[in-house]
Amino acid sequence: MDSVGIVSYGAYIPRYRIKVDEIAETWGEDGDSIRKSLWVFEKSVPDIDEDTVTIAVEAARSAIGRREIDPLRIGAIYTGSESHPYVVKPTSTIVAEAIGATPLLTAADFEFACKGGTAAIQACMGLVGSGMIDLGLAIGSDVAQGAPGDALEYTAAAGGVALVIGRSELAAEIEATYSLTTDMPDFWRRDGMPYPEHGGRFTGEPAYFRHIIGAAQGLMEKTSTTPGDYDYVVLHQPNGKFPMRAARMLGFTERQLGPGFVVPHLGNTYSGSAMMGLAAVLDLAEPGERILMASFGSGAGSDAFLVRVLDEIRELREKAPSVSELLKDPTYVSYATYARHKGKMKM
């Protein structure tokens, strides 16, 4: 297969935030201990007229606009999410129409809890690498659900990232990818149910840590690399504690984890989580630097990627909002406004 990689990228984060303390106060919990146990201080909240589709479109437009890509070159659009607004009717067709990529392309929606977006990257890599298409658009977008009062409510956030995958004009090459998948009942949402269920502490060791560490170690074995060969590591960020611990277990330092560690002031953007960390790293990485990114999706699996940044990355700087710019100057909302925006209040 020819070398494939990232031609462009774009991110989108809604402007609203709610503080963990505000949620804790609503449910009579101790905000201080929740903040410390999760290492999350606030999370993004979608506007009342934003959903997975609108976030995916904004991220896709940002990716296309950053490099002034002709959308008609895009031969495949895959959107990973666990909060597609339609159960039947693809998010990806709406994105395709909204960016002007129709009608000569293939499109589908992916669902694999928090790793649907990285599965989309791999699918695009295959199509692009085999020469079946010129460019592919892989999107991870979510307005994550958490039942009122559930532990998930402190972290379930909104945001999305789109990557344009191609063979030439690469800003970063994806040198290798490695996946690990098992049938793991750690987190699920049944058809017709508004909120997911989870296995509590069961989601940690046998689910997140086993899969993400297995995939990251497998990638390093496959590519004969060690943590010292990487400048950055980005791991799925369901909270702050999990990726910090997993990075330590793998042998990475805080310096390698820091630039892509966006969860404390963003929350868990589910399908957008690891990809948001990658986008934050691409915003500042220099040519020649190497990134290890590993997603995690409950159910369960992890996709790991070795990304090497190329000279073209400099051409993309300041052509679209960076992740740190998107995180800047948020508007904080009360729990009542958050509940209204998320449709938790029925009128």
Partner 1 sequence: MTVPRFWRKLKHRYNLLGTHCTTCETYYYPPRKICPKCRRRGEIEPHRFKGEGKLLTYTIIQNPPEKITAHAPYVLGIVELDEGPRLTSQIICSPEEAEIGMRVRSVFRKIGEESAEGMIYYGTKFVKL
Residues in contact with partner 1 by CB under 8 A are 47-51, 53-54, 57-58, 61, 85-86, 94, 97-98, 100, 340, 345, 347
Of the candidates 107, 167, 115, which has an alpha carbon nearest to the alpha carbon of residue 141? 115
Long-range contacts of 217-220 (CB under 8 A, 24+ apart): 217/250, 218/178, 218/180, 218/304, 219/176, 219/177, 219/178, 219/292, 219/294, 219/304, 219/305, 219/306, 220/292
- Asked whether the beta carbons of 294 and 215 are under 8 A apart, the reply is yes
Q: Which is nearer to partner 1, 50 or 186 (CB)?
A: 50
* CA-CA-CA-CA dihedral for 179, 185, 190, 195, to nearest 10: -90
Q: Which is nearer to partner 1, 100 or 148 (CB)?
A: 100
Q: Which is nearer to partner 1, 54 or 239 (CB)?
A: 54
Catalytic member of 84, 198, 236, 341: 236
Helix residue ranges, H only, 258-347: 273-282, 313-316, 323-327, 335-341
Please, what is the minimum distance in Å from the beta carbon of residue 41 to partner 1?
24
Active site residue 114: yes
Using only C-alpha atoms, what is the Rg of the chain? 19
Reading the block at residue 3, the tokens are 């070398």
Please, what is the minimum distance in Å from the beta carbon of residue 347 to partner 1?
5
Please, what is the minimum distance in Å from the beta carbon of residue 60 to partner 1?
9
Catalytic member of 114, 198, 312, 341: 114
Please, what is the minimum distance in Å from the beta carbon of residue 86 to partner 1?
7
Q: Which is nearer to partner 1, 102 or 106 (CB)?
A: 102
Catalytic member of 50, 82, 153, 312: 82
* Positions marked catalytic: 82, 114, 236
